[in-house]
Amino acid sequence: MWLNRDIVSIGDFTKEEVMQVIEKANEMLPYASSGHPEKPLSGKVVSTLFYEPSTRTRLSFESAVFRMGGNVLGFGSLEATSVVKGETLSDTIRIVNSYSDAIILRHPSEGAARLASEFADVPVINAGDGAGQHPTQTLLDIFTIWKELGSVDGKKIGFVGDLKYGRTVHSLSKALSMFDVSLYFISPEELKIPKHIKREIDKKVPVREAKNIEEIIEELDVLYVTRIQKERFPDINEYKKVAGTYVIRPSLLTRGKRNLIIMHPLPRVNEIPPEVDSSPHARYFKQASYGVPLRMALLDLIFRGD
Ligand code: NCD
């Protein structure tokens, strides 16, 4: 089931499969710093093709490959590639398919990873397709909730910020709707969660929308904060209208539950001021560190099966 599988959309997974990755990531945790003793990716080549900026996703994938004994090739920006000469995605994928054993792709167009998977024989992993999906971030987000709070079921999770363009929100809210959770969406009118996603989630779990975090902070177990996705706005003036709408101040957190955790896929701009970093609620750096064991788990499943 896992061997050579494409990871394109979180919608392709069952809850059991999500939990299988989570449990494997937990096993990988010690190896994320020491390296996997069996070197399961020995002799394997993994490509990372990043058509959009990335720090955590690309570097944690590359670290995961190295920790598993494999090798990486690829690019993190387009200047030195044939993309600037006008090469199509499908041609690039056809070529890289013959140079490597798996392709990790980030691209500005929604649906790019699905398209790539049709042109590649090797597995394609979606590392973010425009405002679409970011399934491996979702798995690491669920791992963080599970690890830091002991379970996912029974939790009340609030999303705040750019729910319209934020692909991490789109994937994570869909995945969480397979669990026994309540979801809260807090955003300005212009950045509400897309209707088609809300409709899908609404059928499965209780959903509440709010304009102010203050209205719901006391109820939450997880506050998932996101950056306003400046690069996705068709008009910069629209961005300026909503920039800085939500800032998580330490005073707000004093009203939260004792065990409330603050997550953020990062990078942050100004939505979480540095004063919050030392708060016992802050988990975003821990969350980013879980990127390596989680991606090791995923690669292990794809390369060795279950
Ligand atoms: C996110 C992304 O690229 O979607 N970052 C990440 O992968 N950790 C979030 C963002 O860019 O705001």
Domain residue ranges of the chain, discontinuous segments joined by +: 10-133+290-304, 135-288
Mean pLDDT of 187-216: 95
Nearest CA to ligand 1 atom 12: 227
Could you tell me the sign of the dihedral formed by the alpha carbons of 79, 84, 87, 88, in that order? positive
Would the pTM count as exceeding 0.75? yes
Q: Is 92 in the pocket of ligand 1 (CB under 6 A)?
A: no
Q: Which two tokens stand for residue 213?
A: 């975090």
Share of the chain above pLDDT 90, in %: 98
**Same fold across 10-133+290-304 and 135-288:** yes
CA dist 175 to 12, 69, 114, 136, Å? 10, 30, 18, 11
Active site residues: 56-57, 85, 106, 134
The Å distance, Cα 267 to ligand 1 centre, comes to 7
Q: Residue 84: exposed, middle, or buried by beta-carbon count in 10 A (0-12, 13-18, 19+)?
A: exposed
Whether ligand 1 lies within 6 angstroms of the CB of 128 is answered as: yes
Nearest Cα residue to 37 out of 48, 27, 22, 23: 27
Tell me the average pLDDT of the chain.
Answer: 97
- Supply the pLDDT for residue 72: 98
| Mean pLDDT, residues 77-105 taken together | 96
Q: Is the CB of 168 under 6 A from ligand 1?
A: yes
> Quick check: 211 pLDDT over 90?
no
- Look at the domain 135-288 and name its fold: Rossmann fold (3.40.50)
Of 10, 55, 266, the residue with max ligand 1 atoms within 8 A of its CB, to mutate for a pocket test, comes to 266
What mean pLDDT is predicted for residues 32-50? 98
- Residue 137 near ligand 1, beta carbon < 6 Å: yes
Q: How far apart are CA 174 and CA 171, in angstroms?
A: 5
Q: What mean pLDDT comes out for the span 259-265?
A: 98
The rounded distance, in Å, linking the Cα atoms of 294 and 106 is: 18
Q: Whose CA is nearest to atom 11 of ligand 1?
A: 267
Per-residue pLDDT, averaged over 290-294, amounts to 98
Ligand 1 midpoint to CA 271 (Å) = 14
Q: Is the distance from the beta carbon of residue 291 to the nearest atom of ligand 1 less than 6 Å?
A: no
In the prediction, which pLDDT does 306 show?
Answer: 86
The verdict on the CB of residue 293 being under 6 Å from ligand 1 is no
Distance (Å) from CA 43 to ligand 1 centroid: 30
Task: Provide mean pLDDT across the span 75-95.
Answer: 94
Gap from CA of 187 to ligand 1 centroid (Å): 18
Residues 131-151 pLDDT 10s: 999 999 999 999 999 999 999
Distance 37 CA to ligand 1 centre (A): 31
Asked if residues 64 and 295 have their Cβ atoms less than 8 Å apart, the reply is yes
265 lines ligand 1 (CB under 6 A): yes
Each residue of 151-193: pLDDT tens digit?
A: 999 999 999 999 999 999 999 999 999 999 999 999 999 999 9
Give me the CATH code for the 10-133+290-304 domain, please. Answer: 3.40.50.1370
Q: How far apart are CA 61 and CA 127, in angstroms?
A: 9
The one-character DSSP state at 70 is -
pLDDT value at 238 more than 90: yes
CA distance 96 to 159: 37
Q: Atom 6, ligand 1: which residue's CA is nearest?
A: 265
Q: How far is the CA of 165 from the centre of ligand 1 (A)?
A: 11
Q: Are 204 and 182 in contact (CB under 8 A)?
A: no
